[in-house]
Amino acid sequence: MKSDEETKVVLIHGGGTSIGLAVARELGHRGMTVALHDTARPTLAAEIARDLSAENHVLDCSDMPLDEGDVELNLAGIAERCGRLDALVNLFVPRVGTDAAELQSYALSLYRRGLAAAGIIARHNDNGMIVNQFYLASSFADTELGDHVAAARGAITGMTRTLCIRHGRLGVRVGGLLVGLLDAPEIKALASARVLASTTPLQRWAEPVDVAKSIAFLVLDSGYLTGQMLIMDGGLTAGINGS
């Protein structure tokens, strides 16, 4: 039964990060129930859920299977625990040692997750949303990760557009957010000295809260937007550096 009166539920994959914290807080403040899932950082996901539980309804589902085995069945289990599922947000935060193989594996898992999620979301919402967050390669210039991110970005962009066409008939939209220079500890730990010294026309780097507000827009306010990768880079790709 689809009902706009019920509290909507969003699953945040990759929620055990500074970006996950910001997105969970923003969507919680916007009235959504938030389910966090992060098998790579389960302790951090649990801490975030615990810290935010006083403010909003936040669940940690990292103990439940997701990308292993039958992904659709796994998502149905998470939806059952949460009561429903209206949106899926895929956050990616690289770590020291992230390489091409890990990014290829991530992109494949993201696609399988996106394929499986639409049917679950469509049971509860006729305007559900899947958001794929990733990065511009410029954030990792002068590092090996930069080339890998550029390749993965192309793959994820293509997947987002393909899933948009596939899921449109179900009333599920698919979009993406490409982030430029991001003032998050996980990202700055991987940035080169040249990147750390650069700026944007807005004279600052994006912060996790900026990512959170953009994702909240995509999930809750962008009723007719689908198949697009929004670029959030403070004007960096306009061809000037703000200096």
User: pTM for this one?
Assistant: 0.94
- State yes or no: pLDDT of 204 exceeds 50: yes
pLDDT in tens, 94-134: 988 899 999 999 999 999 999 999 999 999 999 999 999 99
- State yes or no: pLDDT of 1 exceeds 80: no
Q: Provide the pLDDT for residue 237.
A: 83
Q: Which CATH number fits domain 9-232: 3.40.630.30, 3.40.50.720, 3.30.420.40, 3.20.20.120?
A: 3.40.50.720
pLDDT in tens, 133-174: 999 998 899 998 999 999 999 999 999 999 999 999 999 999
61: nearest Cα among 72, 45, 47: 45
pLDDT in tens, 76-95: 999 999 999 999 999 999 98
**Which DSSP category does 236 fall into?**
G
Query: Is residue 61 within 8 Å of residue 85, measured between CB atoms?
Result: no
Q: Provide the pLDDT for residue 5.
A: 62
Mean per-residue pLDDT over the chain, rounded? 94
pLDDT in tens, 24-69: 999 999 999 999 999 999 999 999 999 999 888 999 999 999 999 9
